[in-house]
Amino acid sequence: MNAKRRPILAGNWKMNMTVTQARELASKLIPLVSSVKDRDIVLGPPFTALSAVAETIKGTNISLSAQNLHWEDKGAFTGEISADMLLDSGCKYVIIGHSERRQYFGETDETVNKKVKQALKKGLLPILCVGETLADREAGKLNETINRQVNGGLKDISTEDMKKIVIAYEPVWAIGTGKTATPDQANEVHALIRQKVKALYSADIAEGLRIQYGGSVTPENVSTLMAMPDIDGALVGGASLKPESFAALVNFK
């Protein structure tokens, strides 16, 4: 954490929660985090529950994120969701390039970049996900992979737009596995990303950039992660599905 950057705690609900369950989760969370003023709180329900959660959190200190979008404005793209639809459903953020989308749905740095551009064009704030697989790490390709994903995802993004982006570092081997990167391992990659953004933009932009860590974050390990100088937040899967555990995460000391 760094006093200059406002922490951002986001829950990625992935393919979980019916509309009824989503409403209940959000309703229970609201009073548990209502006194939080110095951090951003974001919920990422599945598309079908966005409107219901938007209604539930209206007027609170919680914001809404989608988990994906399409890069075109509208048209014959069966099964896809546009930026306008997300804005109309109450979204402020959109998660882009999550490793599960890269791994199972063929997303590439090129499609990720198109989505980042579309989100920015329409006024959604992108949470751009990057992260290496265990095979990348073991083959000594950590830096190469992160560089490729950061370069690719941010291709042709202006300095003004870069100020609106959050980057989430999620080592694929730490997602849903219970294996968290150690605070030092995570911070090392966060610092690398910040360095890269400094080279691409400027020291000011890099210093202002918020970088979340994701991968088996829990109420137990969040404080040691957030104590690291380059870790500015968390993108949380499993532990965001229960109001008590996500609230405990948000309220980290």
What size, in residues, is the chain? 253
DSSP state of 65: E
209 and 190 in contact (C-beta within 8 Å)?
A: no
Closer residue to ligand 13P, CB minimum distance, 106 or 140: 106
Rg of the Cα trace of the chain? 17
Q: What crossing angle do the helices spanning 142-153 and 183-200 adopt, rounded to 10°?
A: 40
Please give the residue whose beta carbon sits closest to ligand 13P in the complex: 237
Q: How many residues bind ligand 13P (CB under 6 A)?
A: 14
- Tokens linked to 147: 């560089």
Minimal distance, residue 214 CB to ligand 13P, in Å: 4
Whole-angstrom CA distances from 50 to 116, 119, 236 are 20, 17, 17
Q: Binding to ligand 13P (CB under 6 A): which residues in 190-219? A: 214-217
Minimal distance, residue 55 CB to ligand 13P, in Å: 24
Asked if 12 interacts with ligand 13P (CB under 6 A), we say yes
In whole angstroms, give the CA distance from residue 3 to residue 61: 20
Minimal distance, residue 236 CB to ligand 13P, in Å: 5
The residue from 17, 83, 162, 236 that contacts ligand 13P (CB under 6 A) is 236
Active site residue 132: no
Whole-angstrom CA distances from 103 to 47, 91, 108, 133, 206 are 20, 25, 9, 10, 28
- Tokens linked to 188: 């090392």
Active site residue 170: yes
The residue from 175, 181, 197, 222 that contacts ligand 13P (CB under 6 A) is 175
- Catalytic residue, candidates 100, 107, 132, 170: 170
Write the binding mask 113 to 152 for ligand 13P: x where contact by CB under 6 A, - elsewhere: ----------------------------------------
- Catalytic residue, candidates 98, 100, 132, 190: 98
- Tokens linked to 197: 């953004």
Q: So which residues are the catalytic ones?
A: 98, 170
Binding site for ligand 13P (CB under 6 A): 12, 98, 170, 175-176, 214-217, 235-239
